[in-house]
Amino acid sequence: MCQSEPSLLDPILLRPLLGSYAGRFDVDALAVCDSTSSELLRRVDAGAPSGTVVVADRQTAGRGRRGRSWLSAPADSLTFSLLWRFPGTPLELSGLSLVVGVALARALAALGARGVGLKWPNDILLRRTGEFAKLAGILIEMASDRRGTQAVIGIGLNLWAPAGELGQAAAGLADALAAGEPPERHAVLAALLLELVRVLDAFTVDGFAGQKSEWQRWHAWQDEPVRVVEDGRELLAGTCIGADTDGSLLVRSERGVERVLAGDVSLRHA
C-alpha cells in the first residue's frame, strides 16, 4: 500500500529545522501512499507514539470529509498526517480542527503568506479579489482506548494551485507570497510542525477556549453573512459571530443565536 522509494522529503534534512522540538516528532517520508491518514491509522493500531508523522509525495486515495477526495500532485503539494495523543475522550477534543487551523495560519504567515483566513471547521482559505480560494484542508480522525484518545491530524497544503476542476476555487502558497513561489518543502513542513506542537500543547492544557480569540482573528467570515448547508439544502442563514469554547459555530439568525456543530454541515459565504 505504501512504498518506501526515495521521497522528495528527507527526515534527516528536516531535523535541524525543528530545533529543540525535533525529539517530539518521528517523521517517515514515503514516495507513494494511499492516504497518509490511512497509513497512520494503521500505525496507531501497531502502537505508534504521539508525534509520529507520515508524509507522502503522492496519495492515491487522499481523503477529505465525508468520503470526498483530496487531490494532490507530488511537486505541487505537501500532504502529511500527524498522530497526537491526548488524555480524555474524543468529546473533549471538539475544537481540535480549529486550533490546527490556527497553527497552519500562524505558520503560513510566518513564511510570509498574506491573506490567509480560516473557514470553520477545517479549511484554510486565501483571500483574493472578490473570492476566497482553498489553500489547505484539515481532516481529523480519532480513535480512543483506556489511555486516552489518539487524533490523526491529516493536512493537505497546496504549494502551487492545483490544476483541474475541483468544484471550488483553489489556491497555492505561491499565490500568497510576494516571491510568487513557495519556500523549499522542508522549510514549509518544519514551520507547520513547529506551530502544531505549540498549539497542541496549549490545547491539551486549556482546550479550544485558550485559542478562541486567536481563531476569531484568523476567521475569514467573522461578522459576515453565511449560510449553513447540508447536502445542498440550506439549514440556516445569518451572521457568523464566531466560535464557542466547545468549537461549535455561532450564527445570529432571525431566531436568535444558533449553535452549529461540526458534522455533516458545510458553511458557505452568503
With CB atoms as reference, the residue minimizing the distance to ligand ATP is 64
What's the half-sphere exposure (Cβ side, CA atoms, 13 Å) at 128?
16
Catalytically annotated residue among 65, 85, 119, 212: 65
Cα–Cα distance measured from residue 157 to residue 78, given in angstroms and rounded to the nearest whole number:
5
**40/228 with CB nearer ligand ATP:** 228
Contact 185, 199 (CB under 8 A): no
Give the Cα separation of 247 and 174 in Å (integer): 30
Residue 144 or 266 with smaller CB distance to ligand ATP? 266
In angstroms, the Cα distances linking 227 to 62, 93, 179 are 27, 25, 35
Query: Which residue in 58, 63, 106, 134 is the catalytic one?
Result: 134
What strands, in cross-sheet order, belong to the sheet with 225-230? 256-260, 249-253, 233-243, 225-230, 266-269
Cβ 140 to ligand ATP, closest distance in Å? 11
SS3 for 207? coil
Q: Which is nearer to ligand ATP, 201 or 264 (CB)?
A: 264
Contact call for residue 168 and ligand ATP (CB under 6 A): yes
- Whose Cβ is closer to ligand ATP: residue 11's or residue 162's? 162
Contacts of 183 (CB under 8 A, 6+ apart): 111, 112, 173, 177
Residues 16-55 within binding reach of ligand ATP (CB under 6 A): none
* Per CB under 6 A, 94 contacts ligand ATP: no
Q: Is 134 a catalytic residue?
A: yes
- What is the Cα–Cα distance from 208 to 202, expressed in whole angstroms? 9
Residue holding cell 455561532? 250
Quick one: which of 123, 175, 195, 244 contacts ligand ATP (CB under 6 A)? 123
Q: Which is nearer to ligand ATP, 79 or 150 (CB)?
A: 79
Query: Which residues in 69-88 contact ligand ATP (CB under 6 A)?
Result: 70-72
Angle at 215 between CA 211 and CA 216, to 5 degrees: 120
Does residue 119 carry a catalytic annotation? no
Minimum distance of ligand ATP from residue 262's CB (angstroms): 9
Binding track, positions 202-241, relative to ligand ATP; x by CB under 6 A: ----------------------------------------
Phi/psi at 234 (5° precision): -75, 125
134 interacts with ligand ATP by CB under 6 A: yes
- Is there a catalytic annotation at residue 268? yes
Q: Give the active site residues.
A: 65, 134, 268
**Residues near ligand ATP (CB under 6 A):** 64-65, 68, 70-72, 122-123, 134, 137, 156, 158, 162, 166-168, 170, 266
